[in-house]
């Protein structure tokens, strides 16, 4: 059973605050485009239905990752302490079942299932145990069926429909949260196996999620948000494209590579080989100059940002 792993477990943002097209996993095509919404106080305007297409693309890429694994790789430790590669897939399969039942008001809906456990970590560990003894093919099939059902149910909901996940969120935020989960756990596998991590057009969604969930992240860390402070992210992709999230007149600014902020927001900054997920690893990015935090709120964001429960 995984121990001491505090990574995205119950999945995604606790609440919301007010791409590309292509084939997804299981051959699912891109959903139709919908109306356009502004992005979190700044940055580009994103078609809501393309957010569902991005989720399908992320899960298609996760399928490709799994198909490239050798049988022995599934038993190897992932980059998350106490978790094997198989645990990562079992966790995603289990939470996709809960996600789908939440959308369909089924027996394993979030509000019916998660309260049965003392902590989110206990819920996560129980999901991983459901995969014990399953073959790689069975694990992949379990996850793929659950993920396909979630995508189908999301496509049947309006973008502003509420989803009873955490404190509640819209379906568009929920889709971004599921995308984030798959990227983060895929990163755990890639980092452990020494596989390259490519930037994708979907990373800005994760970056924005890290911004919109900051109040929750600070509350979890028992850190009071500085009064009167606002935050803008000025991020740069490897190809030089800039991505801005947050108000233009923000008091605080965090600048740096898009990928590094996404690692910070999902708590996937790897430290030393002896402590790959050390609490001070995000701070090292600032010390090394990878991220520049101007202002108290920006500094707190580097230390405490988290996009999951």
- DSSP-derived letter for residue 2 is -
Is residue 242, in this structure, part of any structural domain at all? yes
Query: Comparing C-alpha atoms, which of 182, 230, 189, 190 is closest to residue 206?
Result: 182
pLDDT at position 167, please?
85
Among residues 197, 217, 238, the one where a domain terminates is 197
3-state secondary structure of 138: helix
From 25-39, 40-54, 71-85, the region with the lowest mean pLDDT: 25-39
Q: Which residue has the higher pLDDT, 36 or 281?
A: 281
Say if CB 88 and CB 73 are below 8 A apart. Answer: no
Is residue 7, in this structure, part of any structural domain at all? no
CATH number at residue 139: 1.20.120.450
Region 81-102: mean pLDDT is: 98
Same domain, 223 and 189: no
Is residue 1, in this structure, part of any structural domain at all? no
Say if CB 253 and CB 264 are below 8 A apart. Answer: no
- Residue 25: count of CB within 10 angstroms of its CB: 21
Same domain, 176 and 29: yes
* pLDDT tens digits, 132-147: 999 999 999 999 999 9
Same domain, 145 and 59: yes
Say if CB 169 and CB 162 are below 8 A apart. Answer: yes
Query: Comparing C-alpha atoms, which of 84, 2, 3, 4 is closest to residue 278?
Result: 4
Is residue 92, in this structure, part of any structural domain at all? yes
In this structure, what token pair is assigned to residue 186? 């895929």
Task: Evaluate if residue 7 carries a pLDDT over 50.
Answer: no
Mean pLDDT, the chain, integer: 85
Same domain, 175 and 289: no
Query: Comparing C-alpha atoms, which of 154, 153, 162, 164 is closest to residue 111?
Result: 164
Same domain, 61 and 180: yes
Region 276-294: mean pLDDT is: 68
Q: Pairing relation of β-strands 36-37 and 162-163?
A: unpaired
Band the pLDDT of 164: cuts 50, 70, 90.
Answer: very high
Q: In angstroms, what CA-CA distances link 188 with 24, 84, 97, 105?
A: 21, 10, 21, 31
Same domain, 149 and 276: no
Same domain, 269 and 188: no
3-state secondary structure of 76: coil
Task: Evaluate if residue 189 carries a pLDDT over 80.
Answer: yes
Same domain, 181 and 237: no
From 202-216, 248-262, 277-291, the region with the lowest mean pLDDT: 277-291
Say if CB 171 and CB 158 are below 8 A apart. Answer: yes
Same domain, 159 and 265: no
3-state secondary structure of 280: coil
Same domain, 257 and 188: no
Is residue 49, in this structure, part of any structural domain at all? yes
Chain-centroid distance of CA 186 in Å reads 10
* H/E segment holding residue 233: strand 231-236
Domain that holds residue 293: 207-304
CATH number at residue 271: 3.30.1050
Band the pLDDT of 270: cuts 50, 70, 90.
Answer: confident
Among residues 197, 229, 258, the one where a domain terminates is 197
In this structure, what token pair is assigned to residue 33? 């485009």
**For the chain, how many structural domains are there in total?**
2
Region 105-114: mean pLDDT is: 97
Burial class (CB in 10 A: 0-12, 13-18, 19+), 6: middle
Band the pLDDT of 288: cuts 50, 70, 90.
Answer: low
Say if CB 165 and CB 115 are below 8 A apart. Answer: no
Beta bridge pairs of residue 257: 236
Q: Which residue has the higher pLDDT, 181 or 21?
A: 181
Same domain, 173 and 256: no
Is residue 47, in this structure, part of any structural domain at all? yes
Which residue blocks in the chain are alpha helix, DSSP H?
A: 48-67, 85-104, 110-113, 120-129, 136-155, 171-193, 203-212, 214-220, 258-265, 281-287, 296-304
Region 201-218: mean pLDDT is: 97
Same domain, 157 and 248: no
- Residue 90: count of CB within 10 angstroms of its CB: 23
- Residue 177: count of CB within 10 angstroms of its CB: 29
Say if CB 254 and CB 302 are below 8 A apart. Answer: yes
Q: Which residue has the higher pLDDT, 226 or 9?
A: 226
Among residues 150, 165, 197, the one where a domain terminates is 197
**236-242 own/partner pairs: CB under 8 Å, 24+ apart:** 237/199, 237/203, 238/199, 239/199
Is residue 3, in this structure, part of any structural domain at all? no
Angle between helices 136-155 and 171-193 (to 10 degrees): 160
Is residue 6, in this structure, part of any structural domain at all? no
pLDDT at position 17, please?
47
Say if CB 128 and CB 90 are below 8 A apart. Answer: yes
In this structure, what token pair is assigned to residue 129? 């145990």
From 15-24, 50-59, 197-206, the region with the lowest mean pLDDT: 15-24
């Amino acid at each position: 059973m995984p121990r001491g792993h505090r990574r995205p477990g119950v999945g995604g943002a606790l609440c919301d605050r007010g791409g590309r097209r292509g084939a997804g996993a299981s051959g699912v095509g891109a959903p139709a485009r919908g109306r356009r919404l502004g992005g979190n106080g700044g940055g580009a305007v994103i078609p809501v239905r393309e957010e569902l297409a991005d989720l399908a693309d992320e899960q298609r890429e996760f399928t490709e990752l799994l198909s490239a694994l050798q049988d022995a790789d599934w038993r190897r430790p992932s980059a998350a302490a106490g978790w094997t590669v198989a645990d990562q897939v079992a966790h995603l399969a289990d939470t996709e079942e809960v996600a789908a039942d939440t959308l369909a008001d089924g027996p394993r809906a979030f509000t019916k299932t998660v309260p049965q456990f003392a902590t989110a970590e206990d819920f996560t560990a129980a999901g991983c145990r459901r995969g014990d003894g399953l073959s790689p093919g069975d694990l992949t099939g379990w996850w793929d069926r659950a993920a396909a059902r979630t995508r189908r149910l999301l496509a049947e909901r309006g973008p502003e429909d509420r989803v009873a996940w955490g404190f509640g969120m819209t379906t568009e935020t929920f889709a971004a949260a599921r995308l984030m989960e798959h990227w983060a756990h895929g990163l755990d596998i890639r980092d452990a196996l020494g596989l390259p991590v490519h930037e994708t057009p979907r990373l800005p969604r994760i970056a924005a999620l890290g911004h919109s969930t900051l109040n929750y992240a600070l509350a979890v860390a028992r850190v009071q948000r500085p009064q009167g402070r606002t935050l803008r992210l000025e991020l740069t992709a490897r190809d030089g494209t800039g991505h801005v999230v947050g108000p233009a007149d923000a008091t605080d600014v965090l600048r740096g590579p898009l990928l590094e902020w996404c690692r910070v927001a999902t708590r996937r900054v790897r430290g030393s080989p002896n402590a790959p997920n050390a609490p001070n690893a995000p701070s090292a990015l600032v010390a090394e100059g990878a991220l520049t935090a101007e202002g108290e709120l920006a500094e707190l964001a580097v230390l405490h940002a988290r996009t999951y429960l």
